[in-house]
Amino acid sequence: MNCLIVDDNKLARTAMRQLASHVSQLQIVGECDSAMEAYNLIQKEKVDLLLLDIEMPGMTGLELTRNLGKTKPLIIFTTVKKEYAVEAFELNVVDYLIKPVQPSRFIQAIEKAKELSDSNQGTLQISESEFLFIRDSGILKRIRTEEILYLEAMGDYVKLITPNKFHAIHSTLKSLEEKLPSSKFMRVHRSYIVALDKIESIEDGTIIMQKHVIPIADAYRAALNSKLNLL
């Protein structure tokens, strides 16, 4: 993977380069001391992975991540601050490392990046909608969108259902709908979003998937029929 180190601190860049130089999967293609310099370089060069600081003069690492959009490289944040972790994982970055970074923790993050790269059929960029990070019992967990059966609104929470368990997320259904790929998920009721490829049958105005029964509201019925390419 072509790796770019982005940090306004020269000593931090040197430490990160030393860590990266010991990992055979990484080829360091450059160093940048600002997010803007990194942004311009990424437009011209093939960069698969960013080792990215957060607090930098001008544009922050978080702002750079947002500006790169859906075709951004894989990103591992490297920072001395813990308080940006939730915001960072909402941007679907690979990992969040606290400086000084321990070699074992660095390797773990690189292995995770490699796994994501391989799972994306050999391409080294990942769509923002391929997975979500959710907070479960104080731990941030990654859920791949392909695992989701449906989501159900429950007051101030959303219940996210997978084949083996469910997660209660403090969020709105609308917020999660915006993070999911519209080609694979659809709202079928004001309280339900379903994974289209998990639908087994539709009976009497309800969707059946793995023994779950989800109602279809009249307002969404025509759009659903269109998505399913009914004959």
pLDDT tens for 58-107 read 999 999 999 987 668 999 999 999 888 888 877 878 889 999 999 999 99
Contact 188, 198 (CB under 8 A): no
| Helix/strand/coil for 49 | strand
What is the location of CATH 3.40.50.2300 in the chain? Answer: 2-119
Task: Identify the H or E element spanning 35.
Answer: helix 35-44
**Cβ burial 128-151 (10 Å sphere, 16+ → b, else e):** bbbbbbbeeeeeeeebebebbbbb
CA angle at residue 77 from 71 to 78, to 5 degrees? 150
With a CB cutoff of 8 Å and minimum separation 6, the contacts of 213 are 206, 207
DSSP 58: S
pLDDT category at 47 given cuts 50, 70, 90 is very high
Kindly state the average pLDDT of the residues 186-194: 95
The pTM (predicted TM-score) of the whole model is: 0.56
- 143 vs 52, more confident: 52
CATH of 145-227, one of 2.60.120.10, 3.40.50.300, 3.20.20.190, 2.40.50.1020: 2.40.50.1020
What per-residue confidence (pLDDT) applies to 230?
Answer: 64
Q: Of 94-103, 149-158, 212-221, 222-231, which range is least confident?
A: 222-231
Write the pLDDT tens digit of every residue in 114-165. 877 765 433 333 344 577 777 766 667 778 888 999 999 988 888 999 988 8
CATH architecture of 2-119: 3-Layer(aba) Sandwich (3.40)
CATH 2.40.50.1020 domain span(s) along the chain: 145-227
* DSSP 8-state class, residue 164: S
H or E element in which residue 176 lies:
helix 173-179
pLDDT of the residue at 167: 84
